[in-house]
Structure 1
């Protein structure tokens, strides 16, 4: 590891930090959900073009997917960016009480406004460093839409967009600065649709066949199924069409969306077959018909210690953010709103000593030790699909107060804070430094690729999304 790289990359990002902060805040304002991030994607594309990147729009058949490239030839380094929001999480920025901008509207409850802009900062800094030092190779910014259940990266991987990439880097907003050696749960997103027969629920109930009854019975059956699946698996659902609002009409159509998760993609597929049996049984019980459509899916994450060790070394070398009293006061106010159960869960993750310190001052000002002990995070990410094809490393940086839960109004409220911006820039610096190391060290690339091959143990990537399932088209 070359400490001079950290100094120079920090300078390059600090010189353009207002651009990256502006992009992040604007994407926060747009708050567009999966496959609908047209304004966010165009903003990122224009910024890349202004910085000298060649941009391919609608990459991989994704209306809001794109790739910005600089340089030519090998090695090829991918930096992954996300920018989708979540439904029903609208929230005023900078407040410490739940207060939506527009009730029921979207909000960045997972910090993807920061993620996309922080990765942008990394890509631009790598480009600037390459220009300054005359380095060969290629840096690419992958604009990856629909991470929240749409699995944009899986579509990109299926299209072969990572086939010539030598290493990939990403990050995620967090409550600690860390490079974690972890895997994630594979998943499958499936929509089940039931068709029945409408009838007057009082005058002729015997003539009706309720699609809503079928959905409810499927959900009950799936809940009983939970008792007989492995501990690490998850099944959750949301009724997306209840068939109408009139209780005196038998519902002729209803839909329910399922997310099925397990540590490995093969386990997800096995569980999916059992869920389908439950769905068929619900149709038989109600005299309805059932069809299903796979909406998306993600593979489990394959970690790469070769890259992670270098990434952690640079994070330790970089200067950490310095928080003002206003930063600390706002973080403390947010911390007071966090439910006790979330605080207890956070304390278990960081340990008693760190938890006691962070309860007094809930902005982590340290880098967690790197431990090469595999953890399985009980969540999913389509970064997993990249990691099956390319050696991949990720980091997390402090953008939220300690114990802030994901997908909550508190995450949205902090999305434009000063400390969120600082954490975003730290992530950009960490990724850029590691990317430069990969560009200039053939042995590092070789080691990372050998490790990936060993971890796959003869398995090869199979996209969880069937070939006949395509993302929505523009308009």
Structure 2
């Protein structure tokens, strides 16, 4: 029996408790840095499985780490468990039906992400003990991926300094090695303070903070024609100054998310947005204050680890979906547009397959997507530790990320099968690295080469601390 086949048996032995963990976290969706119940569920499970547990990593109450084994290489497997606002949805129902009106929901599948990663780490722990292999495995429970940049703070605090390789995954449409493309970003709150006045009787005495926010937005929108094609800028008004139109608004706040393909391109773009905010304050005779909420780096790939992970995918084969899985996925797919479906294939460089509701293959390693990229704080880990990620097939092809449809599929049998499949791939990649010191050495050399001309510098200003209160504004 190969290392991979042996470790897959260890995954199978523990599958049911970790499916139950995923479902429990699905049922308690919590926003970034407020994942107290979810983090406690993960801490309790780590203790039950015999890990040595550390909480409060990098001073973050909802960050947890479990370690097992002694000496040798350190393999990190990264998990997440934060949810998103406004995406509450009944499980398994292919029509909008929130469990709680306006409530949170796991619209990016992080309930599955954390559970599969801990399952993989547990299987590796059991495998090391059974085989008498020297080495350590760690599960990192990472909060606030959705905008809080927790892993960036954990990197800055040295939480990964002695890690040899890092492994993670993300729920999605296809089973594949992740093409390491993501956008670096910075999230900044701009708070404008002006002067209130009677909007009819003495408008000339007022200085509108809301006008400043609107002028800033106009300025940024004009900037869009003159920034790199792959850069992105988004905003959300957090405080419009009140509900009375007959009062000149004395305070208003807008949150900006600024993205670029690399930190090198991001820094000047952030500077330009800051100048626009200063200009809006000047035009309205208001004052502007800024607060950096978070910032993340772009992902770095790692060729040796990507090949090792792909080998595991190919040995394992696709997830074992059945007709019931396909039928339920089809009912969700029917709520998506044709463009949603085409975009899902395009992101992985694949041609659409008519009538396919679930992906039942493995995406070729050489396939490269042509769709837009998001951002992830795994990027910061990838700059300091050789890192590889998988995609797991857990939902109907075409399901929009950050949608009620994604939430609704988070407890389906297909999602559970995709989650177990991803856990096996991650665990197999980990034991391959432990069995082959040359793989770890090659992965480290690959990272050294990629960062030779641009060593890692945290995009988080040194004075910025985790925005533990940020979910209050969501």
* TM-score of Structure 1 vs Structure 2, range by shorter chain: over 0.9
Which residue matches 1:277?
A: 275
**More displaced stretch, 173-182 vs 445-454:** 173-182
The answer to whether the aligner puts 1:416 opposite 2:389 as a matched pair is: no
* Correspondences of 1:302-321 after superposition (within 5 Å): 302-321=300-319
Equivalent in the alignment of 1:369: 364
Shift in Å, 1:473:
5.2
Residue 219 (structure 1) aligns with: 217
- Mapping for residues 30-109 of structure 1, pairs under 5 Å: 30-109=28-107
Aligned positions of 1:26-425 closer than 5 A: 26-349=24-347, 354-356=351-353, 359-371=354-366, 378-425=373-420
1:419 aligns to what SS in structure 2? helix
SS at match of 1:363: coil
2: CA distance, partners of 1:351 / 1:298: 26
Unmatched runs of 5 consecutive residues or more in structure 2: none
1:432 pairs, out of 427, 430, 449, with 427
Q: Secondary structure at the match of 1:147?
A: coil
User: Does structure 2 conserve the Cα–Cα contact (< 8 Å) formed by 1:90 and 1:409?
Assistant: yes
For 1:374 and 1:307, how far apart are their aligned partners in 2?
19
For residues 343 and 418 of structure 2, what CA distance do their matches in structure 1 show? Answer: 22
Shift of 1:434: 0.5
Q: Aligned to 2:177, what secondary structure does the other structure show?
A: coil
Q: CA RMSD in A?
A: 1.6
Are 2:394 and 2:414, in contact at CA under 8 Å, matched by a contact in 1? yes
User: Separation in 2 of the partners of 1:456 and 1:145?
Assistant: 27
* 1:151-207 C-alpha deviation (Å, 9 max, x unpaired): 110000000111111000000001011113322110000000000101111111111
Q: CA deviation at 1:440?
A: 1.9
Separation in structure 2 between the aligned mates of residue 109 and residue 101 of structure 1, nearest angstrom: 13
TM-score normalised according to structure 1 size: 0.96
Q: Is the 8 A contact 2:73 2:136 kept in 1?
A: yes
Contact persistence 2:294–2:467 (CA under 8 A): no
- CA shift digits 1:231-251 (9 cap, x unpaired): 011111000111101111111
Q: Is the 8 A contact 1:58 1:64 kept in 2?
A: yes
C-alpha separation in 2, matches of 1:30 and 1:156: 24
| Alpha-carbon shift at residue 403 of structure 1 (Å) | 1.1
- Against the structure 1 CA distance between its residues 454 and 385, is the aligned structure 2 distance closer, same or farther, given a 3 Å change threshold? same
Deviations 1:251-293 (A, max 9, x none): 1110000010001112111101100110000001111000101
Q: Report the CA distance between 1:320 and its aligned residue.
A: 3.0
Question: Which of 3, 6, 9 is the aligned partner of 1:5?
Answer: 3
Higher mean displacement: 289-298 or 8-17:
8-17
Matched residues in 1 for 2:77 and 2:69: separation?
14
Whether the 8 Å CA contact 1:183–1:374 is kept in 2: the answer is no
Preserved contact between residue 349 and residue 367 of structure 2 (Cα < 8 Å): no
The CA deviation at 1:464 is 1.0
In structure 1, C-alpha distance between the alignment counterparts of 2:231 and 2:348, rounded to whole Å: 24
Give the drift of 1:66.
1.3
Deviation at 1:14, TM superposition (A): 1.2
Judge conservation of contact 2:4–2:431 (CA < 8 Å) in 1: no
Please say if residues 338 and 403 of structure 1, whose CA atoms lie closer than 8 Å, have aligned partners that are also in contact.
Answer: yes
| Distance in 2 separating the partners of 1:20 and 1:178 | 22
State how far apart, in whole Å, the 2-side matches of 1:379 and 1:322 are.
29
Q: Please tell me whether the aligned partners of residues 148 and 467 of structure 2 are also in contact (alpha carbons under 8 angstroms).
A: no
Moved more, 176-185 or 214-223: 176-185
CA contact (8 A) 1:35 1:64 kept: yes
What is the TM-score with the length of structure 2 in the denominator? 0.96
Matches of 2:123 and 2:138, distance apart in 1? 12
Q: More deviation in 231-240 or 450-459?
A: 450-459
2:300, 2:366 → 1: CA distance? Answer: 16
Between 300-309 and 458-467, report the one with greater CA deviation: 458-467
Structure 1 unaligned blocks of 5 or more: none
